[in-house]
Structure 1
Amino acid sequence: MKLLVIKAHPEPAPRSISLKVMDAFVKEYKQDHPDDEVVVRDLFAAPVPPINNSTFPAWDALISGTKPDDLPAEQKKMLEPSNKLLAEFLSADKYLFVNPMYNHGVPAELKQYFDVIEVPHATFRYTAQGAVGMLQGKKAAHIQAAGGFYQNQDVTALPDEDFAAPYVRAQMKYMGVEDFTGIYAEGADTYPDRRDELVADACARAKKAAAKF
């Protein structure tokens, strides 16, 4: 089995709660799944290629029936990074998304990543009944850190103001992944005196999830 870790965080681990929780998850996962391959895709170390006015003509040519090898050299070169990301994504059996909440949403790099890997006839297909995901049988987990409470139970929780966690879950469901686990490290800014306790709790939940993932 192959676990693909999609890391959408710019900060080094000592400052990042979500990366600390990620490390706890991955360490436990490797211990409990020693024969599995774990691949980390860092969206900040190797930026996701943009979708722009040059991308669409190449896509339109492919949709119109042009074979990939028959595209002009500059278009083939432009699409190569996106194609590699898609191939890597399709080759995985399990996914772990890791990000901080940015102003109630996901980092732009993660949004760009989804735009690149959500490709018709690869991760989903159109039918008369609507879009149908093509990744059935795979599973995903999501680690997200936030300064307030949005997903976890707390008197100050504001679930309607978190557009990030529902977004990641929705994207995976759109591609056919129904087995989804959310691990949310929240409240460290709301209760700075409880930071260590809240981080430890999130790490414990991450380890528990990893053991059976």
Structure 2
Amino acid sequence: MSTVLVIKAHPATEDVSNSLVIGDHFVETYRQAHPEDQIIGHDLYAEGVPEINSSNLDSWKKLTSGVTYQELSENEQILLSRQQQLQEQFIQADKYVFISPMYNLFLPNRLKMYLDLVIVSTKTWVEGAHGPEGTLHDKKAIHIQSSGGTYHHSDNAFMATLDMGDAYLKALLGQVGVKDYQGIYCEGNSHRDPDDMAANRETIAKEAEKVAKEF
């Protein structure tokens, strides 16, 4: 049995979200194809993400200086418990599904905040003789992303280099040991009328269905 961690990073809107529709279809298809697997989901905009700020840093400093967890304030304990829960889920998962739109050639800020929280030294990577060495092996990840422009499906190879968010996610996961990485991209949405967008979304959803069965 595998544990699949599904991370949605899209603000709630009344409009149809291409990435969420395709992502939900992927997850449901995966669930039907792998009924024995456990799926854990987080909606980063609905739940919120603990921000790394002075409160976090002060709490971590107290622990490293000898203060026990029980001696921390109630708010500090709640904050650290949430962080540790997210970190442990990330470490223990076998597969990762990231669902997000592209924002200004990058990832939504809450997805970046989540990654900063769960990818930490000594837990997901250690300093080796030749640089960082990942500790998360034999895992796989997929990024389901929608965008207004066309980057990965463009005839111009340069366009793919502009998708810095997807490249960052792939590189970061690779650093911690997750080498099996795929992307499903629903693109060119700002240039489509509603009917064309729906048709394209359906095409990409069928692609996601095929990938989900083998993921």
CA contact (8 A) 2:154 2:160 kept: no
For 1:28, the aligned partner's letter is T
User: What CA distance in whole angstroms lies between the structure 2 residues aligned with 1:206 and 1:168?
Assistant: 19
**Residue equivalent to 1:170:** 171
Q: How does 1:126-145 map to 2 (within 5 A)?
A: 126-145=127-146
The answer on whether the counterparts of 2:134 and 2:175 sit within 8 Å (CA) in structure 1 is yes
Uncovered stretches (5+) of structure 2, i.e. residues with no partner? none
SS in structure 1 of the partner of residue 132 of structure 2: strand
Measured against aligned partners, the alpha-carbon deviations of 1:153-193 in whole angstroms (never above 9, x if no partner) come to 34597222211111111121111100111101101212336
Residue type of the partner of 1:72?
A: L
Q: 1:195: which partner in 2? A: 197
CA distance in 1, matches of 2:151, 2:137: 28
Equivalenced residue count is 212
- Structure-to-structure mapping, 1:77-156, within 5 angstroms: 77-154=78-155
> Counterpart amino acid of 1:69?
Y
Q: Distance in 2 between matches of 1:42 and 1:130?
A: 33
Distance in 1, Cα, partners of 2:114 & 2:125: 15
Equivalent pair of 2:96/2:140 in contact (CA under 8 Å): yes
Question: Contact between 2:86 and 2:118, CA under 8 Å: does it hold in 1?
Answer: yes
Give unpaired runs (5+ residues) of structure 1. none
**Structure 1 residues 169 and 135, CA, compared in 2 at 3 Å: closer, same or farther?**
same
Residue 206 of structure 1: CA displacement?
Answer: 0.7
User: How far did residue 45 of structure 1 move?
Assistant: 1.1
Q: What TM-score do you get using the length of structure 2 for normalisation?
A: 0.90
Distance 1:68 1:208 in 2: 49
Asked if the contact 2:12–2:45 (Cα under 8 Å) also holds between the matched residues in 1, the reply is no
Going by fraction, where is helix more abundant, 1 or 2?
2
Question: Is the Cα–Cα contact under 8 Å of residues 151 and 157 in structure 1 kept in the other structure?
Answer: no
Query: Does the aligned pair in 2 maintain the 1:140–1:177 contact within 8 Å?
Result: yes
- What is the SS of the residue equivalent to 1:136? coil
TM-score by length of structure 1 reads 0.91
Q: Cα deviation per residue 1:95-128 (whole Å; 9 max; x = unaligned)?
A: 0000000111111100000000011111111123
Identity %: 37
User: Which deviates more, 141-150 or 7-16?
Assistant: 7-16
Contact map agreement 1:13 1:20 (CA 8 A) in 2: no
For 2:141, the aligned partner's letter is: A
Cross-structure match for 2:73: 73
Counterpart in 1 of 2:5?
A: 4
| Distance in 1 separating the partners of 2:187 and 2:157 | 11
Contact 1:68 1:76 in 2 (8 A): no
